[in-house]
Amino acid sequence: MIAATEDAAAFDAALVRALWQAIWVGMTVFMVGMLISSLLAWRIARPISATLAAVRRMREGDYGVRLGQEGGGELGELARNFNAMSEAVAERERLMLRQAFEDRLTGLPNRTRLLELMQSGMASDDAPFVLLLLDINQFRYVNDYLGYPAGDAMLVALARRLSGLMQQQGELCARLPGDEFALLFPRTRIDALPSLLARLDAALLDPVMVGGQRLDLGVGIGAVYPEHGETAELLLRHAEMAMYLAKRDHTAYAIYCPETQVQRRNRTVLLADLREAIEDGQFRVHYQPKARLGDGSVDKAEALIRWAHPERGWIAPDEFIPFAEQTGRLHAITHWVVNEVVGQLARWREGGLMLCVSVNVSTGDVEDDTFVTFIDNTLQRHDVPPSQLCLEITETGMMHRPQQLLRNLDRLRQLGVLLSIDDFGNGYSSFGYLAQMPVHELKIDRTFIERLGHNFENVSIVRSIIELGHILGLEVVAEGVETAAIWQALAVMGCDAAQGYLIARPMPADELRHWMTLGFELPSTPPNMAPLLAS
């Protein structure tokens, strides 16, 4: 009995031990299983979590996020597709930023980027800076005459040269709409402007070759400082006003001043007065004689319009002709001038005075198909020979849609009206183009004549223009002759005629008749000047 009891106790103890062992084994297997399951679940869920995190980062604007591409299963394929999509989105973002802040043609920052940088700089500190705004003189004629690809090439060439000026950190060259460029020089004071302009002048000194043509990079420049405006937008607008002032006055540059804005408002008021000026007969015609350099005789004159404003007095044509052209009133003014001049020619003929008078006309006037008929009818109505009327068109105007001009120019020449190229030397005319024009006269731009005594390079330019005109069978007239030395130099170089204050200032018709009746004396050409100027 006792033995049986001991055996039962031993069995129970063994059973308990076996049970605990089974429990521990089970627990161990369960824990290992849980660990393995967790590892497997983590390994499976990790790419999904990474993908979700990457999607959230991309949604927040981080387009540089990438996923690992381990494995060749579906998750690996998903990672590769995600990375490809992320790269495409990033590229589109870079493209959008370039389009928003970069000029497509030149690669320079655009107006938006310039304004952003200016505004942030103005808000961060009160450091001085200089902003220069410039555009190319006569640029639209490059497009009209040589074509838009040539114009683009000229813009790219200018962009490269201007970018080369940016030497210090923070200096910026930006391209604005059209042919305008802006140069921003931070931490720069007003007294540094002359050196900046000297750098700019040196960069633009050499012409560029475009379409086989040597084109000068002449520009008009407007300058502003921080005190000229409270916002970047206002500063840029004031720089533009200064730039247009420089171009109007034919100066190298202009600095904005409040008076510039007042002048602009005044010119705006003039627009409203133009209609009344035409209707009320406020315009006057003055005549400036042209003298032949060979013998000093006067048989020609130029008609110059003046506005006798009832409140502001005499207004020069430079102040109102551009606005008349913009508002479509230039045609009416031109018709009035032509009718007035032809009528005066008829009155002079009756009194025995025979003159040929030049009238300035615009490209738009000549392109109008009714203009030739108007000229013909006006000459017939006053019984004036066509050879007594000369129409002057600027060289740059001649290059504006030349094929459309040629037809009406030919018709005018067939009438017997004389034609002249005015302000020659400012445009980009080629020899072949000039040879096609049915003109009889070429007028050298006054800027070349005024600089004639400064250096021998200007002498060579003027002499070359005179020789070119004579090769083409044209008479050559020099504008802006104000000294006896220039008169004598032109005579030696073979120039045909001269016009300027040395001869006479513009005057009303009655005064011109009186001036010619009294007689006048002009300088002669000393023989000993010929060897000097011919060298």
pLDDT at 107 over 70: yes
Is the Cβ–Cβ distance between 165 and 159 less than 8 Å?
Answer: no
For the cut 90, the answer to whether the pLDDT of residue 375 exceeds it is yes
> DSSP for 76-128?
HHHHHHHHHHHHHHHHHHHHHHHHHHB-TTT--B-HHHHHHHHHHHHHH----
Residue-range definition of the domain harbouring residue 520: 263-534
C-alpha span between 529 and 532 (Å, rounded): 5
Same domain, 349 and 488: yes
Predicted local distance difference test score (pLDDT) of residue 219:
87
CATH number for the domain spanning 251: value is 3.30.70.270
Same domain for 274 and 204? no
165 and 267 housed in the same domain? no
Q: How far is 16 from 9, CA to CA, in rounded Å?
A: 11
pTM higher than 0.85, yes or no?
no
Among residues 256, 282, 317, the one where a domain terminates is: 256
For residues 450 and 471, membership in a common domain is answered with: yes
What's the whole-number mean pLDDT along residues 88-109? 72
Position 399 scores a pLDDT of 67
Predicted pLDDT of residue 52: 65
Task: Provide the pLDDT confidence category of residue 69 given band limits of 50, 70 and 90.
Answer: low
Number of Cα atoms under 13 Å in the Cβ half of residue 28: 6
Q: Are residues 371 and 520 in the same domain?
A: yes
Domain boundary among 230, 256, 282: 256
Check residue 533 and give its pLDDT: 41
- Confidence (pLDDT) at 507: 95
Judge whether 220 lies within some domain: yes
Helix (H, G, I), strand (E, B) or coil at 265: helix
Q: Which residues contact 462 (CB under 8 A, 6 or more apart)?
A: 444, 448, 449, 452, 478, 490, 493, 495
**3-class state of residue 303 by DSSP:** strand
**Residues 6+ away with beta carbon under 8 Å from 222:** 132, 133, 134, 238, 239, 240, 241, 242, 243, 244, 245, 246, 253, 254, 255, 256
Q: Let me know if residue 16 belongs to a domain.
A: no
Please tell me whether residues 380 and 490 are part of one structural domain. yes
Give per-residue pLDDT as tens, 269-308.
Answer: 666 677 788 778 899 999 999 999 988 899 999 999 999 9
pLDDT reported for residue 247: 78
pLDDT at 529: 45
Q: What is the sign of the dihedral through the CA atoms of 373, 378, 381 and 387? A: negative
**Quick one: pLDDT at residue 214?**
77
The pLDDT tens digits of the residues spanning 461-472 come to: 899 999 999 999
Of 63-72, 130-139, 317-326, 388-397, least confident by mean pLDDT is: 63-72
Q: What is the pLDDT of residue 531?
A: 42
pLDDT above 90 covers a percentage of the chain that reads 33
Q: Are 292 and 355 in contact (CB under 8 A)?
A: no
CATH number, domain containing residue 461: 3.20.20.450
Residue 250 included in any domain? yes
Dump pLDDT digits (tens) for 314-363. 888 887 887 777 667 888 899 999 999 999 999 999 999 999 999 999 88
The whole-number pLDDT of residue 313 equals 86
- Residue 237 falls inside a structural domain: yes
Over 80: is that where the pLDDT of 71 sits? Answer: no
Same domain flag for 133 and 175? yes
Same domain, 206 and 284: no
Cβ count within 10 A of residue 432: 7
Both 342 and 477 in one domain: the answer is yes
> What is the 3 state secondary structure string of 457-523?
HHHHHHHHHHHHHHHCCCEEEEECCCCHHHHHHHHHHCCCEEECCCCCCCECHHHHHHHHHHCCCCC
Query: Does 328 map to a domain?
Result: yes
3-state secondary structure of 74: helix
In a domain, 137, yes or no: yes
* Residue 351: predicted pLDDT: 92
User: Tokens representing 119?
Assistant: 């505004």
Last residue of a domain, one of 56, 80, 101: 101
Residues 225, 316, single domain; the answer is no
Mean pLDDT in the chain? 81
Mean pLDDT of all residues in 142-167: 85
pLDDT (average), residues 501-512? 94
Q: Is residue 5 included in any domain, yes or no? A: no
Concatenated DSSP letters for 356-413?
EEEEE--HHHHHSHHHHHHHHHHHHHHT--GGGEEEEEEHHHHTSSHHHHHHHHHHHH
Query: DSSP character for 416?
Result: T
Number of domains in the chain: 3
| Same-domain pairing of 315 and 457 | yes
Is residue 12 assigned to a domain?
no
Co-location of 323 and 410 in the same domain? yes
Q: Can you give the C-alpha Rg of the chain in angstroms?
A: 40
Note whether 361 and 391 are within 8 A (CB).
Answer: yes
